[in-house]
Amino acid sequence: MPDSRPRRTFAVISHPDAGKSTLTEALALHARVITEAGAVHGKGGRRATVSDWMDMEKARGISITSAALQFVYRDHVVNLVDTPGHSDFSEDTYRVLSAVDSAVMLVDAGKGLEPQTLKLFKVCALRGIPVITVINKWDRPGLAALELMDLIEQKIKLRPTPLTWPVGEAGDFRGVLDRRTGEFVKYTRTAGGATRAPEKRMPAGEVDEADRPVWQDAVEEHELLEADGADHDQELFLAGTTTPVMFASALQNFGVAQLLDLLLDLAPAPHATPGVDGSVREVEDEFSAFVFKVQSGMNAAHRDRLAYARVVSGTFERGMVVTHATTGKPFATKYAQAVFGRELSSIEEASPGDIIGLVNAQALRVGDTVYVGEPIEFPPVPSFAPEHFMAASAADVGRFKQFRKGIEQLDQEGVVQVLRSDLRGDQSPVLAAVGPMQFEVVQERMTNEFNSPIRLSRVDYSVARRTDAEGAAALAGGRGTEVLQRSDGTYLALFVDQWRASATARDNPDVMLEELPAGG
Ligand code: GDP
């Protein structure tokens, strides 16, 4: 029997240190975890992670790989897809967002909207992913609640529609006013935040004497918001015009159950997805899924390639033979995995919204579709504007064959974008990345997996624009500019800086120079 429980599939977008790991653990504490997929990365002696399969990850204590955590709450199955979080982030972080139906934007109350949050938000906006905002760390001194609302409105142009409103300013957290019911959700501080739900609901009339003055402040601000029309509207939320906001303290477990309720009540369920030819796959149609991440080298002993796919329609059953849309060839799913990271365990079934890991996925690339029955091909996962560029060459010229093979493989996996030109030849392609850590992954894998250590040398570009063959010809030899070609055929014009890019566009009005999505 297929598992027909409703699904919610979401990701948390945040800047490092906003509390994503803390929140993930708190969510897991409130719900019943079905599979733990290494979404929690252990820091400071907390519960250890299961996704530290790479030496580099171990050394840094961070999670580079994307993974998912699946749990049950109120008879729903919730999939939390991890966005690898680090100050450097990579295209993987963005790509994960193609696999979710909504995002939780986690904001540190003391810091407001930070750069990485903004970048990830842009990708959500681009993909039309509705965003729920959680203001975290309200137990600590921070910005005023109204000020945070202004920041959201100004910086990301989303209209905040608070569902709860804090009682007591940041650092003097008494609880929240539930704007939908008018109740006081009182926060009861417990040693170390060890309880599951330190929350007590009461009608306005029962608010303690001691909390009365701050409660009154909250009521007044709530009325201000009401007069301003800042109330939740489901349609506007789904359309990406507004963002419901709630206040929480992940560390104290406050607001965690509220967030889960919110996800179930407001966040969209998996929905029909259009293919490139305009046909639409309904969730109840035959099985289909698309690959949003590919990973190799998880086990040094036997080289393996795992493709992470999000189920779009139908029921996935292990052992199913699916068709790979790009090649039209069959692909056997005998060893499909539910758990990512080191502790792989096979799954029997998955429903729309779930994430599956397909092993031996040599032929599968990021963006590929697999299906059963009626053919379908979903649009490719967009690649993002690289901002970091390095020329790569084999450290040992005698190993050029391995070098070429490795670079090709990493290009296919989408570990890094590989840019080539006749001028540079095969010996020295330019590697382009969204985050500098992608280069470290390349170094590590070229050395350990392909036996060809590489030399990376900085090339002095920081801006990329999309152009075409005519543009490539027109810009050839220009100062502070170089045109290279990506393996998907796209021409990228690289510029030393923004100024040079703008000047070139001004001087060459007929040349196509398009900005690439997100990334900066
Ligand atoms: P991540 O980098 O986003 O995964 O952030 P972490 O979950 O590792 O949290 C970063 C730091 O903030 C840790 O020291 C946490 O204990 C702390 N932290 C997270 N949530 C809260 C919160 O709600 N209140 C307070 N006071 N600290 C928090």
Residues 341 and 480 in one domain: no
pLDDT class for 366, splitting at 50, 70, 90? confident
* Nearest C-alpha neighbor of 436 from the set 389, 379, 378: 389
Written as six digits, the tokens of 72 are: 């049950």
Residues 499 and 353 in one domain: no
pLDDT class for 363, splitting at 50, 70, 90? confident
Residue 357 within a domain: yes
CA pair distance 344, 65, nearest whole angstrom: 14
pLDDT at 518 over 60: no
Written as six digits, the tokens of 328 are: 């039209």
Asked if residue 84 belongs to a known ligand binding site, the reply is yes
| List of long-range contacts for 272-277, beta carbons under 8 Å, 24+ apart | 272/313, 273/312, 273/313, 273/378, 274/378, 274/379, 275/369, 275/376, 275/377, 275/378, 275/379, 276/377, 276/378, 276/379, 277/377
Q: Which of 347-351, 386-390, 399-403, 511-515 has the lowest mean pLDDT?
A: 347-351
Residues 210 and 97 in one domain: yes
Ligand 1 centroid, distance to 17 Cα (angstroms): 6
Residue 13 within a domain: yes
Residues 229 and 311 in one domain: no
Residues 363 and 442 in one domain: no
What's residue 52's pLDDT? 32
Residues 259 and 279 in one domain: no
Residues 134 and 37 in one domain: yes
Ligand 1 centroid, distance to 19 Cα (angstroms): 4
Residue 319 within a domain: yes
Written as six digits, the tokens of 376 are: 């379908």
Residue 379 within a domain: no
Residues 265 and 291 in one domain: no
Residues 163 and 105 in one domain: yes
Written as six digits, the tokens of 102 are: 């909504």
**Model confidence pLDDT, tens digit, residues 5-41:** 999 999 999 998 999 988 988 887 777 665 443 333 3
Domain termination site, one of 269, 296, 324: 269
Ligand 1 centroid, distance to 388 Cα (angstroms): 29
Asked if residue 369 belongs to a known ligand binding site, the reply is no
Q: Whose CA is nearest to atom 14 of ligand 1?
A: 17
CA pair distance 436, 458, nearest whole angstrom: 11
Q: Is 420 in the pocket of ligand 1 (CB under 6 A)?
A: no
Q: Is 357 in the pocket of ligand 1 (CB under 6 A)?
A: no
Residues 327 and 408 in one domain: no
Q: Please state whether the predicted TM-score (pTM) of the whole model is above 0.80.
A: yes
Residue 423 within a domain: yes
Q: From the CA of 16, give the closest atom in ligand 1.
A: 2
Give the CATH number for residue 456.
Answer: 3.30.70.3280
Q: From the CA of 25, give the closest atom in ligand 1.
A: 7
CA pair distance 38, 46, nearest whole angstrom: 13
Residues 183 and 235 in one domain: yes
What's residue 464's pLDDT? 94
**Model confidence pLDDT, tens digit, residues 121-141:** 988 998 899 999 999 999 999
Written as six digits, the tokens of 41 are: 């990365």
pLDDT class for 224, splitting at 50, 70, 90? very high
DSSP code at position 301: S
The beta-strand segments (E) located in 183-300 are: 184-187, 199-202, 242-247, 273-274, 280-281, 288-296
What's residue 335's pLDDT? 67
Give the CATH number for residue 281.
Answer: 3.40.50.300
pLDDT at 403 over 70: yes
CA pair distance 406, 399, nearest whole angstrom: 11
Beta bridge partners of 484: 492
Q: Is 14 in the pocket of ligand 1 (CB under 6 A)?
A: yes
Ligand 1 centroid, distance to 447 Cα (angstroms): 35
**Model confidence pLDDT, tens digit, residues 293-324:** 887 655 554 456 778 899 999 999 888 999 99
C-beta of residue 59 within 8 angstroms of C-beta of residue 349: no
Q: Residue 335, class by beta-carbon neighbours within 10 Å (0-12 exposed, 13-18 middle, 19+ buried)?
A: middle
C-beta of residue 6 within 8 angstroms of C-beta of residue 269: yes
Q: Is 250 in the pocket of ligand 1 (CB under 6 A)?
A: yes
What percent of the chain has a predicted confidence (pLDDT) above 70? Answer: 85
Amino acid 216 reads Q
What percent of the chain has a predicted confidence (pLDDT) above 90? Answer: 60
Written as six digits, the tokens of 62 are: 């961070």
Give how many domains the chain has, as a whole number: 3
Beta bridge partners of 159: 242
**Model confidence pLDDT, tens digit, residues 47-102:** 333 333 344 334 433 333 346 778 889 889 999 988 765 545 677 778 889 999 99
CA pair distance 433, 417, nearest whole angstrom: 6
CA pair distance 162, 139, nearest whole angstrom: 18
Residues 285 and 414 in one domain: no
Ligand 1 centroid, distance to 187 Cα (angstroms): 18
Helix (H, G, I), strand (E, B) or coil at 263: helix
- List the alpha helices (DSSP H) in 112-170: 115-127, 145-156
Q: Whose CA is nearest to atom 15 of ligand 1?
A: 19
Residue numbers of the domain that contains 212: 7-41+55-269
Strand order through the sheet with 454-458: 454-458, 388-394, 430-433, 417-420, 481-486, 491-495, 463-467, 514-515
